[in-house]
Amino acid sequence: ALQKHPDIVAATGEVEVNQSRIGQAKANYYPQVDLSSGYKKYSPVSKTSNNSLDEYKSSATLKQNIFDFGKTSAEVDIQTLNREATTSDLRNIKERVVLNVKQAYYGLLQSKQNREVAMETVKQFDQHLQQAKGFYEAGTKPKFDVTKADVDLSNAKLNLIKAENALRISKVVLDNAMGMPNAPEYTIEDALLYQKYNITLKDAIDKAYENRPDLKSVITKKAAAESSVELAKKGYYPTLAGNAGYDWSGEKLPLQDGWNVGVTITLPIFSGYLTDYQVQEARAKLNVVKAQEESFRQGVLLEVQQAYLNLREAEERISTAQLIVRQAQENLELANGRYAAGLGNPVEVTDSQIAYSNAKTSHIQALSDYNVAIASLEKAMGVR
């Protein structure tokens, strides 16, 4: 998933884009060299002369930024910070993909175990149907027991069909989460287990503020916005540049040549308040990013709290669900024993079997929710 998912490929491209922009910003440190060459043909300048005029001209120029009051270095710093921000964004997308894969993985395990429960239920109701037929043929039970068992078996088969389709859908969801919609057949490890996850809410929050890549991205963008304000202010200052050139020109070869060197200082006097508005824009963007940072911090806190509470709730459900499974199994054994002894009725068997199947399904759901809650909490803390 980390290699093939399109979201990760796109985010990696954004990092490369910002890396290129650092190089673009650094380009102003180096001299700019240009070569040009041209030819012009002029028509006769008078009616009495048919002679045309040829002109050849070539030149080489060099321009070097000498001092710009830190404009270039500020631009390099901004682009470097932007690259760091997109690197954090890439890490955040990777963690989101990992979470989606884990959720889909546990969903597939849950569907797989639910199908096993459905298959077991079909088997149990089929055995009960054969038992009811035997009693009916022996004249010890009425026809109602047979038809009731037959209906129960049909309902169990219907639930099995649903469980098998849910399993197929879960497989498709996992393939999509991995960025492999046409993935070849594969097997997965059955790891829908309970393992104690020890962490306090305070530690989880502290880890989130320390490690969350999306929060780091916003903080880095804030630093870039602060640098952008300073860069905008540098529009008030002059720039100093050196230049040199060599020219060749004439009507025919060999051409006459000449050279020039000089220094140019450019001082902005009035630009229609352009720089003022650029500074205002940069400050406004900084305020936006500051607000986004605070919003992110609140969102991180909420996400950690929700994931932590979901984890503890699922943990409590596991122990309760285990108890219910044992109780339902015992009740089913009693109901089957009573019916086999001719003391019970088919409704008791049906209710007990359904209660047992539901108890096992609830236990599977609790285990799945618990493992998903761990994955969600790790994503919320920025530790996967």
> Are the beta carbons of 364 and 192 closer than 8 angstroms?
yes
Give the tokens for residue 349: 């068997």
Return the bridge partners of 239, or none: 266
Task: Please state, in angstroms and as integers, the Cα–Cα distance from residue 377 to each residue in 279, 294, 307, 370, 382, following that order.
Answer: 41, 21, 5, 10, 9
Q: Which of 37-46, 316-325, 338-347, 362-371 has the lowest mean pLDDT?
A: 37-46
Cα separation, 342 vs 167, in Å, equals 39
- The whole-number average pLDDT for the span 324-335 is 94
Using one digit for the tens of pLDDT, what is the confidence trace for 112-126? Answer: 999 999 999 999 999
Using one digit for the tens of pLDDT, what is the confidence trace for 95-154? Answer: 999 999 999 999 999 999 999 999 999 999 999 999 889 988 888 888 998 999 999 999
Using one digit for the tens of pLDDT, what is the confidence trace for 7-35? Answer: 899 999 999 999 999 999 999 999 999 99
Total-model pTM: 0.84
Sign of the Cα pseudo-torsion (270, 272, 273, 277, in order): negative
Q: Which domains does the chain have, with CATH numbers?
A: 6-43+58-381 (1.20.1600.10)
> Average pLDDT, whole number, for the chain?
92
Using one digit for the tens of pLDDT, what is the confidence trace for 218-274? Answer: 999 999 999 999 999 999 999 999 999 999 988 877 888 899 999 999 999 998 999
Using one digit for the tens of pLDDT, what is the confidence trace for 157-174? Answer: 999 999 999 999 999 999
50 pLDDT higher than 70:
no
45 pLDDT higher than 70:
no
Query: Using alpha carbons only, what angle is made at residue 128 by residues 127 and 129, rounded to the nearest 5 degrees?
Result: 90
Start-to-end CA distance of the chain, whole Å, equals 14
Q: Distance of alpha carbon 22 from its chain centroid, rounded? A: 25
